[in-house]
Amino acid sequence: MTAILLAGCGTSGVNGVPALRAAIGSSLAGAKGKTVEDQNKIDRTIAPGCAVKLYTRAECDLHTKASAARRAELKS
């Protein structure tokens, strides 16, 4: 599936890892999930992948639930 996605991106004139990195962003680097800001970085990295269906619906749902649980832990 990823190969098809990347091949599809190639038809628009933008292809390869740099294009995927630009689409997903680089917020994740250094995030450890120890603070709300870290969780925001993780979410900002995952959200575009979910939006373009890089990840499955189940994976995105799992991330959404895990993120909510982590945010609740951080509030306590």
Of the CA atoms within 13 Å of residue 27, those in its CB half-sphere come to 17
**Mean pLDDT (the chain, rounded):** 78
Domain boundaries, the chain: 2-75
Q: pLDDT tens digit string along 54-74?
A: 889 999 999 999 999 999 999
Crossing angle for the helix pair 57-75 and 36-51, nearest 10 degrees?
Answer: 170
Judge whether 48 and 24 are in contact, CB under 8 Å.
yes
Considering only CA atoms, which of 19, 41, 36, 29 is closest in space to residue 74? 36
Answer whether 0.85 is exceeded by the pTM: no
Q: In angstroms, rounded to a whole number, what is the distance separating the alpha carbons of residues 73 and 57?
A: 24
